[in-house]
Amino acid sequence: MTDFADIAATAFAGHSLLASGPLDLVALAVRKAEREGADGPLLVFDDASGRVIDLDLRGSEADVLARLAARGAVRPGPAQAQEKPRGRGRPKLGVVGREVTLLPRHWDWLEQQPASASQVIRRLIDAARREEGGAAVAAPPADSVHPVHPTRPVPRRVRAERTYRVMTDLAGDQPGYEEALRALFVGDDAALAANIADWPGDVAAYVHRLAGLDEADG
């Protein structure tokens, strides 16, 4: 099962920060705010991709958490299901076995591929590494919910894409939005910071963090 303590999410009620942290705790905070009549639309973002996370908040807290867990459940691909116990002898060299957690639609796609799930994933990673010049692995699938590793360097392209998504959803009506977008994609951190300076404080702070401006300032 997915460890939701490793999935970083941020929730907003309108332009105000509601909660930020592990996805399960953020989901419960959003559920509470919804029942208390939140001031403004509720949006939950995946901090790693900037995508909105759709949550089913019906029922009890346990119901909400159970549905989250089901979305991240691991189910075997065809190659894994048909794999026979390995006989005695040396294992294949250079291959390390670890758990991979994917959404059901990702497993569905893998099952349609001619090669095994492991082979397909290795090829996708190799292709992403080549595209990034071997410096970093490309961003996860755009519609995925995935863990954030704060200590792992995030490529500028990934930072720009996730920041763009959040800006579009949270700040599309703010002054200087178009100018901020241009600054974001040309890598002009100073202009980006200047154009978001008058935005609602919580929104500007979140954009600051996703775009990596905090690191630049440090």
Helix (H), strand (E) at residue 201: helix 201-211
Where residue 139 falls among pLDDT bands split at 50, 70, 90?
A: very low
State both tokens at 10. 């941020």
Q: How many CA atoms lie within 13 A of 42 on its CB side?
A: 21
Where residue 107 falls among pLDDT bands split at 50, 70, 90?
A: confident
pLDDT at 97: 62
User: Which residue, among 65, 2, 7, 61, has the nearest Cα to 32 in the 3D structure?
Assistant: 61
pLDDT winner (highest mean) among 39-43, 55-59, 156-160, 200-204: 200-204
Q: Is the per-residue pLDDT at 25 higher than 60? A: yes
Percent above pLDDT 90 for the chain: 44
User: Which residue, among 54, 47, 48, 118, has the nearest Cα to 82 in the 3D structure?
Assistant: 118
Give the number of other Cβ atoms within 10 Å of residue 39's Cβ.
Answer: 12
Angle, helices 201-211/156-171, rounded to nearest 10 degrees: 160
pLDDT at 117: 72
Share the mean pLDDT of the chain. 77
pLDDT at 163: 95
Residues 158-164, mean pLDDT to the nearest whole number: 93
State both tokens at 165. 């998504």
Sheet containing strand 16-22, edge to edge, reads 16-22, 8-13, 42-46
Where are the extended beta strands (E) located within the chain? 8-13, 16-22, 42-46
Q: Is the per-residue pLDDT at 53 higher than 70? A: yes
Where residue 19 falls among pLDDT bands split at 50, 70, 90?
A: very high
Q: Is the per-residue pLDDT at 216 higher than 60? A: no
Residues 55/64, Cβ–Cβ less than 8 Å: yes
Residues 45/30, Cβ–Cβ less than 8 Å: no
Where residue 71 falls among pLDDT bands split at 50, 70, 90?
A: confident
Burial letters for 76-103: b for 16+ Cβ neighbours within 10 Å, e otherwise?
ebebeeeeeeeeeeeeeeeeeeeeeebb
Q: Phi then psi for 10, rounded to 5 degrees? A: -135, 135
